[in-house]
Amino acid sequence: MPAKAAEYLIVGGGAAGLGIAYQLAIRGKRPLLLEAHTAGSGAMTASAGMLSPAYEAEFQELPLLRAMVESRLRYPEWAAALGDIGYHPSGTYELALTPEDVPYVQRRVEFERQQGLCVEWLTGAELRRRLPHLSPRIPAGSYAPDEGHVSPDLLRDRLVEAIHAHGGTLYEHTPVRRIEPLGSHFRVETPTATYEADTLIVCTGVSAEGLDLPFKVYPVRGQMVAIETPSPEWLPAPVRYFNRTTGYGYAVPKRGYILLGGTAEEKGFDPSLTVGGVLDILRRAYFVFPDLYDQRILRFWAGLRPATASRTPLLYQVPGQRLYYINGLYRNGILLLPLISEGVAQWLLEGELPEVLRPFQVDALPEA
């Protein structure tokens, strides 16, 4: 059977692959996207959909912070173009769990303000006026009014619809078995067909599916719990909480439930739930919101996030070839989705990344 031609072939239907295919399609191209399982079944399942640059970047990650802020600013336009993606510009809270945690959260507020972000410092009493179910034990925290959240599931569905509507193609349950360079193009073999692509973009995350990636990807497991919420007003905005001993947790309101997380465990390619992981999530959430005690648990699950050694994105073009690798979005795949998708589409079509993404473009790969 002769090979089928594809101008732009994308391997991997996670956040990056879906977003890049969408951006190519609305620019008049006809991308072909191959996904080994179902679209968004990888790291997107381990995402709460928080759009929170202020609380995601660490003190030393200024290029990543700038990229996250710019990407978050694009979400209103994306929501208007795609339709219902569960976009809520609700702001985000960050709480200190004990008095000993307050100095760290205060330092974060100072850092965020130095970077030009709008962040309010709130006493425990001020927090409880805004979050009436908050425990009286919470001493203080902050609020970033420009932030918000989306639904990863709705975002995935709208992207799939938009790709098809603009002339792109998505084949699910189509693992790539082999990639072979053939002069100026690539032969891509799947169990059901062979394709010849002019440009190949590999966005497989942790699911390399047997492909020999030229760099190391570290799977980081995230466990999550969904609990029933009595009303949409019960939790008006995402809440992150910090403790020096137990680390971070979060609660994010969704339609009909609250999403609790999360863990960040380097346990290899094991997506299993654990008693300890779920217990830690519930213990932290109950400490912050004791009224959750009687709420029904709806489900538990876990996913694997793709991380590089630096915990920052990796954007790489093989020298002299139209072969691109996009990986390492880690826990920020949803937040970075608009910027990465638009920037990579520009890179593919015009030959240059936007300036804000260039810190993540590598000329030589770290050892795999």
DSSP code of residue 331? G
Superfamily of domain 4-45+153-216+310-362 in CATH is FAD/NAD(P)-binding domain (3.50.50.60)
Sketch the domain layout of the chain as residue ranges: 4-45+153-216+310-362, 100-145+218-307
Handedness of CA 12, 265, 269, 179 (dihedral sign): positive
User: Is a pLDDT exceeding 90 seen at residue 3?
Assistant: no
Cis ω for the linkage preceding 276 (within 30 of 0):
no
Please tell me the distance from the alpha carbon of residue 336 to that of residue 69, in angstroms, as a whole number: 9
Mean pLDDT of 181-196: 94
Length of the chain counted residue by residue: 368
What pLDDT, on the 0 to 100 scale, is given for residue 231? 87
pLDDT band for position 367 (cuts 50, 70, 90) = low
May I ask the CATH class of domain 100-145+218-307? alpha beta
pLDDT, residue 365, reads 72
pLDDT at 33: 98
- Residues 120-156: tens digit of each pLDDT: 999 999 999 999 999 999 999 999 999 999 999 999 9
Question: What percent of the chain is modeled with pLDDT above 70?
Answer: 98
pLDDT in tens, 224-283: 999 999 888 999 999 999 998 888 999 999 999 999 998 999 999 999 999 999 999 999
Q: What is the pLDDT of residues 83-106, one digit of tens each?
A: 999 999 999 999 999 999 999 999
pLDDT-based confidence at 209, cuts 50/70/90?
low
Distance between CA atoms of 325 and 337, rounded to whole angstroms? 15
pTM of the model: 0.96
Strands 32-34 and 169-171: parallel
pLDDT band at 214 (very low <50, low <70, confident <90, very high): confident
Q: What is the pLDDT of residue 56?
A: 85
**Residue 158 — very low, low, confident or very high, per pLDDT cuts 50/70/90?**
very high
State the pLDDT at residue 366: 63
Instruction: Tell me: pLDDT of 368 over 60.
Output: no
pLDDT value of residue 332: 94
Q: Tens digit of pLDDT for each residue in 273-310?
A: 999 999 999 999 999 999 999 999 999 999 999 999 98
Contact 77, 280 (CB under 8 A): no
Q: What is the pLDDT of residue 208?
A: 73
CA distance 300 to 263: 12
HSE at residue 8, side-chain half, CA atoms within 13 A, is 27
**Among 11-25, 39-53, 115-129, which is the least confidently predicted range?**
39-53
Mean per-residue pLDDT of the chain: 95
- pLDDT of res. 149: 98
3-state secondary structure of 349: helix
First CA to last CA distance, the chain = 35
